[in-house]
Amino acid sequence: MVGNLLIYLGVVVAPTLVFSVVLSLPRLLTAVRRRRSRRSPEPTHPPVERLAADLRRLRRALACFGPGTPVVRRRAATAAYDALLAQTCESVGVAQRLDEVAEGIERDIERLRVEQALCDAGIVLS
């Protein structure tokens, strides 16, 4: 009699347990993925090597602009170069004021200072 009761309980309880595990499996997998993602945070900046390569590429492009280059193109490339310099400075930890300085000789001087500071930090720009 007790054996029959145990078999009956096994037949009734086993499917319920199996379905509850199957239904809660996606939630458990999501919790495991979240826990793993906490261990290895995603980098917020691109790799410094890529930033340095982009800086070299833009610097060469700016040097190749001839006298007939449209002003809009020259300003856009210079703005992109300044933004990339600022991003690289933030990644490396170098102070810069490119956003604060007005367009003109002051910004050119600040750009040269930032390039030298990045070179001192170990980034090859040429």
CB 53 within 8 Å of CB 59: no
Interatomic CA distance for residues 63 and 79, integer angstroms: 14
* pLDDT average, residue stretch 93-105: 91
Co-location of 74 and 105 in the same domain: yes
Q: What is the pLDDT of residue 41?
A: 64
Pick the more confident residue, 42 or 2: 2
Q: What is the pTM of this model?
A: 0.66
Query: What does 11-73 look like in DSSP terms, one character per residue?
Result: HHHHHHHHHHHHHHHHHHHHHHHHHHHHHSPPPSS--HHHHHHHHHHHHHHHHH--TTS-HHH
Q: What is the pLDDT of residues 33-79, one digit of tens each?
A: 888 777 666 667 789 999 999 999 999 999 999 889 999 999 999 99
Percentage above 90 pLDDT, the chain: 54
Regarding whether 66 and 113 lie in a shared domain, the answer is yes
**Domain check: are 67 and 104 in the same one?**
yes
How many domains are there within the chain?
Answer: 2
Q: Which element (helix H / strand E) includes 81?
A: helix 71-92
In a shared domain, residues 22 and 60:
no
Residues 70 and 114 in one domain: yes
Find the domain containing 35 and state its range.
1-42
45 CB contacts (<8 Å, ≥6 apart)? 51, 87, 90, 91
